[in-house]
């Protein structure tokens, strides 16, 4: 079965740090990031060829970004793979599986010395062609193909840290949820248009008690994103992010 997806290729970020034993310590100056065989293009091709959209995520039309962190060791192997921010519905496990399957990287270095380097990869699961998805006949053993590739994923101004700061600064915990001690994660889907504006905000996974409405309100307040790109041109993209509500 062939299904139309958009796969937002990776926004790569390396945290170049020397490791002493199992600790990643700060390192500075003349640094060289680790490199996947074939560079970013090779990495994008590897992800595109190996990623299988989880059946549970397809059936529930879940889309968004799984942020994975791992360490590229001096011997070029990958270690310490874990999820920084997940989506659930099998997407987290699939993103980890892809990283575990990767071939050896060219290791990073600091001041000419090969060292351990911590690396972050957002793996995007995007469904722009929902009407073409036959969710009644999905098969766990089928490799679902990708027909369209967005070469550069959309980015919140200032990156992920700025996005998290924005959400924390804007969220007002609904009184109904506080009174009833209700907490959890609301998954909000939205569209980032060619001009970076946000539209079509919708709930992908609900918690209720006013949390859904508050999550949608805050997402609707977001400033324009840096839009996705395909072949050097801005294009529309769909995103899904978790908005967490926890009572402390």
Range in 4-8, 17-21, 176-180 the model is least confident about: 4-8
Helix (H) or strand (E) holding 164: helix 160-170
| Residues 115 and 31 sit within 8 Å (Cβ to Cβ) | no
**Chain region(s) in the chain for CATH 3.30.2420.10:** 6-150
Tell me which range, 40-49, 146-155, 164-173, is most confidently predicted by mean pLDDT.
164-173
Question: What pLDDT does 150 receive?
Answer: 61
pLDDT above 60: residue 135: no
What CATH fold (topology level) applies to the domain 160-245? 3.30.1150
CA distance 220 to 239: 13
Weakest-pLDDT range from 1-15, 113-127, 191-205? 1-15
Q: How large is the average pLDDT for residues 204-232?
A: 87
At residue 127, the pLDDT reads 64
Residue entry with tokens 């970004």: 65
Domain with CATH 3.30.1150 in the chain: 160-245
What is the maximum alpha-carbon separation in the chain? Answer: 57
Answer CATH for 6-150 from 3.30.2420.10, 3.40.50.1220, 3.40.50.10470, 3.40.50.300:
3.30.2420.10
Tell whether the torsion through CA atoms of 210, 215, 218 and 224 is positive or negative: negative
């Amino acid at each position: 079965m062939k299904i139309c997806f958009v796969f937002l290729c990776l926004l790569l970020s390396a945290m170049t740090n020397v490791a002493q034993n199992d600790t990643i310590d700060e390192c500075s100056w003349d640094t060289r990031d680790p490199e996947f065989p074939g560079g970013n293009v090779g990495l994008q091709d590897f992800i595109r060829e190996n990623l299988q959209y989880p059946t549970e995520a397809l059936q529930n039309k879940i889309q968004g970004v799984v942020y994975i962190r791992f360490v590229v060791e001096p011997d070029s192997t990958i270690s310490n793979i874990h999820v920084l921010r997940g989506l659930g519905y099998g997407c987290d496990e699939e993103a980890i599986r892809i990283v575990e399957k990767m071939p050896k990287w060219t290791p990073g270095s600091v001041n000419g010395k090969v060292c351990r380097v911590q690396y972050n990869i957002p793996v995007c699961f995007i469904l722009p062609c929902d009407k073409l998805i036959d969710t009644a006949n999905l098969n766990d053993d089928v490799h679902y193909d990708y027909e369209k590739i967005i070469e550069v994923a959309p980015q919140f101004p200032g990156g992920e840290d700025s996005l998290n700061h924005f959400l924390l600064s804007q969220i007002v915990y609904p009184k109904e949820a506080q009174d009833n001690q209700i907490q959890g994660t609301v998954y909000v889907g939205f569209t980032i248009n060619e001009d970076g504006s946000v539209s079509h905000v919708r709930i992908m996974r609900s918690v209720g008690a006013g949390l859904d409405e508050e999550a949608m309100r805050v997402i609707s307040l977001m400033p324009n994103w840096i839009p996705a790109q395909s072949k050097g041109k801005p294009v529309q993209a769909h995103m899904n992010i978790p908005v967490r509500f926890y009572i402390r």
